[in-house]
Structure 1
Amino acid sequence: MTKKEVPLKSHERLDRLEKENIDIIQSREVFSFSLDAVLLADFANIAKSRKATIVDLCSGNGAVAFLLSHKTKNHITAVEIQEQLWDMAMRTTQLNNLEDRITFINQDIRQLKGIIPKDSVDFITCNPPYFKVKETNQTNLKEAYTIARHEVHLPLEDLLETISGLLKMKGKAYLVHRPDRLTDILTEARNHRLEAKRVQFVYPKEGKESNIVLIELMKDGLPGGLKVLPPITVFNEDQEYTQKIRSILWGDES
């Protein structure tokens, strides 16, 4: 596929999603995507070919949406509150000729009335802010980092209320988060008609505590039946990516 030329600002760079052959605009001034986004896109069990409405919330510079575009033939709508990240995602879309596959919206996800109809979405992915504002005094000095990492604009209960409002009955949402917030997430999810169906823990290396959890929620799903999937370990004892991570990142099956 021929890449288009798009302007880059002095603080921006191009990083590559190798398996998907996508160049993505990143910047040192704002929060860059990390392994969390790649794991979330891999975990999300979205429809490949059957018609479905897919939405990525808290999309940042669009990494999850771009990764999902290689898992499904469906159009993807991505929503990001920060204008700078939204602008980067828009230019990445143009760079990779994906304008007909992904639509990026610059909006607070709690203010989507009239943009995305209620009870209309089949699949939602979300890499939300992880930290409660009051749980740390180390809030990032840069506003862009603070919004991406701390619940200053999006408390957990607002996030889950929004997800529930958008999903169809039996629609599914996929979240990546911190394991120490899991109890809060599952409790608040049930308060908003969302039932956990799959959970997968990610460990930095063998013998360490989990630092990432992937969660599948179903709207109006029957209580119970939660599946805890086999764990994912990121690094081996030689500090190299494990085979599982290499497969997710690069399609390396060796």
Structure 2
Amino acid sequence: MKVGTDGVLLGAWAPVQDVKRILDVGAGSGLISLQLAQRNPEAVITSVEINPAVAAQAQENIQSSPWSNRMEVVCCDFRKYHPEDKFDLIVSNPPYFVDALRCPDNQRCMARHTSELNYELLFGHSAYLLSEQGVISIIIPAEVERTVIDTAWKYNFHPHRRLHVFTKPGKPCRRVLLTFGRQSISCIEDSLYIEGEKHEQFTPEYIALTKDFYLKM
């Protein structure tokens, strides 16, 4: 499972202040879980991953990190995950090729298609797993933003923060980062450009957000 910009963005952006228990749904290689562990030295993090081979990779990565004593990987279907304690933060970089043709690699298919983890399941099951003041943070393609917000509403989740991500000026918005909570409050809106006018020249805002996770920065 490759390290992608989407995962790095979510791991760098999701709110971790005063958070004690975090759940990473569809954890993949464990990238986002590791970023959150790096950002919050107190949080206990559980990473749920349905694919045994991928879960084993996440476990290996976590065991190699300085934070393994407060992290665990659970290999199971998210819909069958029923822990005793609630979470303060649930994060997910969910599958997004909703209408695309299935790819030949089954492992990458499972990671990219919504057959195993869709927005309905994510919000519906999170409603039982999240503490009353807890929040859900996700990254999604811009074209499904309306669908995601409508689905969240069904389970009484309201947008608290929204970040529109652009690859560069003049290009359409490609990704949206969203944080949802149960409280109906004014949503904080912002935008982020990854590159400036020059190709592969990162903007100061993108560097400020992600520099703790890239050796090249």
Q: With the length of structure 1 as denominator, give the TM-score of the two structures.
A: 0.79
The secondary structure found in structure 2 opposite 1:211 is strand
Residue number among 5, 9, 13 corresponding to 1:43 in the alignment: 13
Q: Who is 1:10 aligned against?
A: none
Pick the aligned partner of 2:153 from 180, 190, 212.
Answer: 190
1:221 counterpart (165, 175, 183): 183
Q: 1:145 aligns with which of 108, 114, 121?
A: 108
Partner of 1:247: 208
Q: Secondary structure at the match of 2:160?
A: strand
**Cα RMSD (Å):** 1.8
What is the aligned counterpart of 1:87 among 38, 56, 67? 56
So what's the TM-score if we normalise by structure 2?
A: 0.91
1:247, CA displacement in angstroms?
Answer: 2.5
Higher mean C-alpha displacement, 61-70 vs 34-43: 34-43
Residues 194, 202 of structure 2: 8 Å contact kept: yes
Paired residue type of 2:93: N
Q: Identity over aligned residues, as a percent? A: 22
Larger Rg: 1
TM-aligned CA deviation for residue 82 of structure 1: 1.1
Number of residue-to-residue matches in the alignment: 212
CA deviation after TM superposition for structure 1 residue 51, in Å: 6.2
1:209 corresponds to which residue? 172
| Residues in 1 aligned to 2:138 and 2:103: alpha-carbon distance in whole angstroms | 23
CA contact (8 A) 1:146 1:152 kept: no
For the residue of structure 1 that corresponds to 2:167, the secondary structure is: strand
Structure 1 alignment gaps of length 5 or more = 1-30
Match of 2:2 among 20, 24, 32: 32
Q: Deviations over 1:96-128 (max 9, x none)?
A: 243202111111111112xx237x111111111
Q: CA deviation at 1:165?
A: 1.5
Pick closer, same or farther for the CA change 1:190–1:51 going to 2, 3 Å.
closer
CA shift, 1:246, in A, is: 2.2
Distance 1:234 1:84 in 2: 32
SS of the aligned residue for 1:55 comes to strand
How far apart in 2 are the matches of 1:95 and 1:195?
37
Does residue 122 (structure 1) correspond to residue 88 (structure 2)? The answer is yes
* 1:78 has 2:44 as partner: no
Which amino acid in the other structure matches residue 233 of structure 1? Y
- Match for 1:221: what amino acid? Q
Q: 1:175 aligns with which of 121, 133, 138?
A: 138
| Cα offset, 1:238, TM superposition | 1.6
